[in-house]
């Protein structure tokens, strides 16, 4: 793949950067010229950043709990201390923890799903907006999901529906401040097995059946009848974050082979 320098002299902050889509986004941003801050709860993010640094890219790895405002605020402060500004925020933290019909979720599980897939985006927008407004603009990309219409993950769907609402509503508020807010909603995406799974407990046989139903529904809902790739998602996220998308804000773009979510 040939890389451009379209993010040269840009400071970009990517959350959930240790694995999957977030890792892919952080790597591509760095290779396209951005000074890139990689944030994750896991120490795996340190190795991702080290690899990029060894290749000559300017990066900073930070570990933080982004389910709290204090955690995200500390990330923003450390980024500003290091680089002076934040031009792009990619809110990528989230992911289904459990897969089962809604009546089988405990109240505690519902809260954990919402905490994982809604709050980091809510806190991220709130934490970064003051500095973006003060410097005269910026871009926030909120990674959502077409699983807002899906089976066996209602709490996750509710959280990602909230992310879509944040994107639409915040864009109304911030257009006058030259801050663009765009959502990108991945569909089923092929990815390496997670080093740290979202659910630390192994699936039961029944849970495996419920998860297979998600896979079947995901393919059936896609016009292309298949899963996409991490590169499919990364390319759309980087387009939305770039100056090429300067006249786009307040929308969530589905990247799901025709499944609109």
Sign of CA dihedral 122, 124, 98, 225: positive
Torsion, CA 212, CA 196, CA 123, CA 129, rounded to 10: -110
Token output for 210: 């419920």
Distance CA 39, CA 61 (A): 6
Token output for 7: 């993010």
CB 117 within 8 A of CB 46: no
Per the residue annotation, which of 105, 156, 211, 227 is the catalytic one? 156
**pLDDT given for residue 196 in this prediction:** 67
Angle at 253 between CA 247 and CA 257, to 5 degrees: 135
User: What does the pLDDT profile of the chain (261 residues) look like in tens digits?
Assistant: 778 899 999 999 999 999 999 999 999 999 999 999 999 999 999 999 999 999 999 999 999 999 999 999 999 999 999 999 999 999 999 999 999 999 999 999 999 999 999 999 999 999 999 999 999 999 999 999 999 999 999 999 999 999 999 999 999 999 999 999 999 999 999 988 867 667 777 889 999 999 999 999 999 999 999 999 999 999 999 999 999 999 999 999 999 999 998
Q: Which sequence spans correspond to the domains of the chain? A: 11-255
Torsion, CA 247, CA 253, CA 258, CA 260, rounded to 10: -120
Q: Is residue 105 annotated as a catalytic residue, yes or no?
A: no
Reduce the DSSP state of residue 50 to 3 states and report it. helix
**Residue for token digits 């709990």?**
65
Distance CA 240, CA 243 (A): 8
CB 49 within 8 A of CB 59: yes
Check whether domain 11-255 has CATH 3.20.20.70, yes or no: no
Reduce the DSSP state of residue 45 to 3 states and report it. helix
Reduce the DSSP state of residue 201 to 3 states and report it. coil
Distance CA 24, CA 100 (A): 29
In sequence order, the 6+-apart residues with CB closer than 8 A to the CB of 194 are 19, 20
Max CA pair span of the chain: 53
Torsion, CA 38, CA 39, CA 45, CA 50, rounded to 10: 30
Residue 84 — left, alpha, or beta (φ > 0 → left; ψ -120 to 50 → alpha)?
A: left
Token output for 67: 């389910």
Distance CA 126, CA 129 (A): 6
Distance CA 227, CA 190 (A): 6
Beta strands in 175-227 (DSSP E): 179-186, 189-190
**pLDDT given for residue 19 in this prediction:** 96
**pLDDT given for residue 4 in this prediction:** 84
């Amino acid at each position: 793949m040939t890389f451009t320098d379209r993010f040269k002299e840009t400071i970009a902050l990517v959350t959930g950067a240790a694995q999957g889509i977030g890792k892919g986004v952080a790597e591509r941003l760095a290779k396209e010229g951005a000074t890139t801050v990689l944030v994750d709860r896991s120490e795996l993010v340190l190795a991702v950043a080290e690899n990029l640094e060894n290749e000559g890219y300017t990066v900073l790895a930070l570990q933080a709990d982004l389910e709290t405002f204090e955690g995200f605020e500390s990330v923003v402060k450390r980024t500003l201390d290091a680089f002076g500004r934040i031009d792009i925020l990619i809110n990528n933290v989230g992911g289904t923890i459990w897969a089962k019909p809604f009546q089988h979720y405990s109240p505690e599980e519902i809260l954990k799903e919402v905490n994982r897939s809604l709050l980091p985006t809510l806190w991220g927008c709130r934490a970064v907006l003051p500095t973006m407004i003060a410097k005269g603009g910026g871009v926030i990309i909120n990674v959502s999901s077409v699983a807002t219409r899906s089976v066996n993950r209602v709490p996750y769907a509710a959280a990602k529906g909230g992310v879509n609402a944040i994107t639409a509503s915040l864009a109304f508020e911030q257009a006058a401040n030259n801050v663009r807010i765009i959502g990108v909603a991945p569909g089923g995406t092929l990815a390496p097995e997670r080093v740290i799974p979202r659910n630390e407990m192994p699936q039961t046989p029944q849970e495996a059946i419920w998860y297979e139903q998600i896979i079947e529904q995901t393919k059936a809902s896609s016009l292309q009848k298949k899963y996409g790739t991490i590169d499919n998602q990364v390319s759309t996220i980087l387009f939305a974050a770039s100056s090429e998308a300067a006249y786009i804000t307040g929308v969530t773009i589905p990247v799901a082979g025709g499944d609109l979510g």
